Amino acid sequence: MGTVVTIDLFGETHGARTREPLDRLVDAACAVLHDADAVFSTWREDSPISRLRRGELTVDACPPVVGEVLSRCAEAHATSMGWFDPWALPGGVDPTGLVKGWAAQLALSQLLGTGVEGAIVNAAGDVAAWGAPAPGQPFRIGIVDPFDPSRLACVVELDGARGGAIATSGTYERGPHLIDPRTAERASAVASATVRGPDLGLADALATAVAVSGTVDFVDAVEGYEAFVIGLDGRACSTPRFAFATDPVVVRH
């Protein structure tokens, strides 16, 4: 999938604790990511998703996880009022806008109950976390300023006790790559769209939908999810319950 993933574990270091069990945890999480890549990478010609896209396989003939992901895509499509539409993309169904977050969330679940006090999986900017970086502290996640990637637009808190995720979609990183499902053309209404919520797969899909639509209203209607958008004009807006830890400052050059 061409994605860099970082896994961070947090906890007390005790004299007797060695690297090995922690390395094994990370390996287990990585294995989940590799498995997801083998199934869903559109860059691998022989992956089930590629074969599905070419019509060589039906969904039923794919590994069951494909059907599961497509059904989550259908839910996200409905939740986003159609703005997230993996079936609108040229070349066949492409669940990439949800799979990255879904896979990262699944990888994080490998680290639950393993004795570490906190964990973060960051898949190319989509972040899922649980636990705490230090006792009693929430995670603090920076959101990149789309007009200057060397600085942050704001900081957001994630309550790891309940689990939490942040996904950001934007055109600044590799040029316009979002497709407007109404026209099937490349669309870019915003510079950066961030969605926060309990599940990274859905947050990922909703962030994509917000980036294309330029609206956050449908996110506000979803229990537990909030959005923050930075427009191409540099103005920021957010849903009422978006948990800023610092006020957003966006400098448009």
Partner 1 sequence: MRRAPFVVAGTVAGVAGVLLFHPQSGVSLGTIPSASTSSGAGSSSSAASSASSGSAGGSGSAAAGSSTSTSTGSSNGTSGTATTTMYTGTSVTYNYGVLAVKITVSGHKVTNVGIASLTDGGNFRSQSIDQQAIPTLEQEALAAQSANIQSVSGASYTSAGFARSLQSALSKAGL
Helix (H) or strand (E) holding 228: strand 226-231
3-class state of residue 207 by DSSP: helix
User: In the set 63, 82, 142, 198, which binds partner 1 (CB under 8 A)?
Assistant: 142
For position 162 contacting partner 1 by CB under 8 A, the verdict is no
Tokens coding 56: 């060589």
Give the torsion sign (CA, 155, 160, 162, 166): positive
For position 150 contacting partner 1 by CB under 8 A, the verdict is yes
3-class state of residue 31 by DSSP: helix
In the complex with partner 1, the residue whose CB is nearer, 158 or 187, is 158
In the complex with partner 1, the residue whose CB is nearer, 101 or 181, is 101
Tokens coding 72: 């989550």
User: In the set 47, 80, 168, 171, which binds partner 1 (CB under 8 A)?
Assistant: 168
**Which residues, at least 6 apart from 235, have a Cβ–Cβ distance to it below 8 Å?**
250
Q: What are phi and psi of 162, to 5 degrees?
A: -95, -5
Residues 71-110: x where in contact with partner 1 by CB under 8 A, - otherwise, as a string: ----------------------------------------
In the complex with partner 1, the residue whose CB is nearer, 77 or 178, is 178
For position 166 contacting partner 1 by CB under 8 A, the verdict is yes
State which amino acid sits at residue 30: C
For position 139 contacting partner 1 by CB under 8 A, the verdict is yes
User: In the set 2, 64, 113, 240, which binds partner 1 (CB under 8 A)?
Assistant: 2
Q: What are phi and psi of 243, to 5 degrees?
A: -90, 80
Q: What are phi and psi of 72, to 5 degrees?
A: -65, -35
In the complex, what is the shortest distance from the CB of residue 250 to partner 1, in angstroms, rounded to a whole number? 12
In the complex with partner 1, the residue whose CB is nearer, 5 or 179, is 5
Give the residue carrying structure tokens 């393993």.
Answer: 114
Q: What are phi and psi of 191, to 5 degrees?
A: -85, -35
DSSP, res 249:
-
Question: How many chain residues interact with partner 1 (CB under 8 A)?
Answer: 55
User: What are the CA-CA distances from residue 162 to residues 132, 151, 158, 199 (Å)?
Assistant: 10, 28, 9, 11
In the complex with partner 1, the residue whose CB is nearer, 93 or 124, is 124
In the complex, what is the shortest distance from the CB of residue 67 to partner 1, in angstroms, rounded to a whole number? 22
For partner 1, the binding residues in 16-45 under the rule CB under 8 A are 19, 22-23, 26-27, 29-30, 33-34, 37, 41, 43
Choices 55-63, 88-96, 133-141, 181-189; region in contact with partner 1 by CB under 8 A: 133-141
3-class state of residue 126 by DSSP: strand
Q: Which residues bind partner 1 (CB under 8 A)?
A: 1-13, 19, 22-23, 26-27, 29-30, 33-34, 37, 41, 43, 120, 122, 124-127, 129, 133, 139-144, 146, 148-152, 155-156, 166-168, 170, 173-174, 192, 194
